[in-house]
Structure 1
Amino acid sequence: MFPKKILIFFGMFFLVIFSLVYINVRRENRKDYHFVITKINENAKGMVTVSDSVTEFGFANFNSYKIDVQKEDSLVKRAFSKKVYIYRRDRKTDKYKLVLSLNESGMFPIDWQ
């Protein structure tokens, strides 16, 4: 009887953790981002977070191993999109050009959401 209780406890524990992560990823994926980057933070694990005065975006669900983001770049991610686009302003023409496109690589495929 005792091993059944332990199995049920750990099963429920992992189910709750899995559900919370899924809900957070789903909520993040449904958001629409479009802002000019004013601040870049990189933690000890190498995770990059960019922000402006109002919005913050972390690259946790995207391939960010070759992240080349600078201040004054523009970040665009449409709701339910599998890609994040980084645009950089050309100082001569004063127009933004695509510099980087990151694919979704999160734990849950976007098709589940």
Structure 2
Amino acid sequence: MIEFNDDAVGHDDVFNVRKAGVTMNQMRRLKQSKNHLCIDLHGLSCKEAESELEQQIHSGPSVLKIIHGKGYHSHDPIPKLKNMVFHLLHSHPKVIAFCSAKTNDGGSGVTYALIKKG
């Protein structure tokens, strides 16, 4: 399971991460994509959500829309699902880019991820 460190992300923090070789044009297309698999992690424990996210990354879609929420309803000051998603995507070798959704599509409570094919 993903362990958190001092690099925890906050409720309203936005993501815009791309690994080497990913162009700004690819990032722009990722943010504008409407052709993606959507997974909703609301109501899952961090362990369940991590397992579901890993399964979807390995199942082969090129773009994932991950609904994790901002964490305002958490009993913890750190949004656990949002942090788990950030750290998993950041360290996963198949994830080549990810960013927060547009405001009208969930903003910082939703993340789009670009998955490397193959």
Give yes or no for TM over 0.5.
no
| TM-score normalised to structure 2 length | 0.23
| TM-score normalised to structure 1 length | 0.23
Structure with the higher strand share, 1 or 2:
1
Q: Which has the larger radius of gyration?
A: 1
Structure with the higher helix share, 1 or 2:
2
Q: More relative contact order in 1 or in 2 (CA 8 Å, sep 6+)?
A: 2
